[in-house]
Amino acid sequence: MNGLRKAISVKRYVVRLSGEERERLEALIPQRQEPGATAGEGADLLKADISRAGEGWSDSRIVKALETSLSMVYRVRKQLVERALKAVLSRKQRAAPAVARNI
């Protein structure tokens, strides 16, 4: 049941990238120009994209090919759908400053 629930919830976040978004991600992957972005997040979205230019891969295929986790693919899909591409490519600001370690 747990696997079925995950499969259903993942499909709720369908990735459809515009041409401009695809170009930005394709440029990002080899150069990693966006601060805080990883090539994996961009690659996840490109593989999951179901638009005409996209490949429309399943989450399990993305996980295997890109050596990532299902939770990472889910998180990236969710961020794109709920908060747009900019949210996926930028680091989340800390709510509180980092605490220095006592050595």
Supply φ then ψ for residue 69, to 5 degrees.
Answer: -115, 160
Query: Which residues, 6 or more positions from 66, have their beta carbon under 8 angstroms from its beta carbon?
Result: 40, 43, 44, 47
Q: Is 44 within 8 Å of 74 (Cβ atoms)?
A: no
d(CA 88, CA 79): 6
pLDDT for the residue numbered 39: 62
pLDDT for the residue numbered 4: 46
Show pLDDT as tens, one digit a residue, over the chain (103 residues). Answer: 455 455 444 467 888 999 998 888 888 776 554 444 456 778 888 888 898 888 889 989 988 988 888 998 898 888 888 888 887 877 666 777 777 777 6
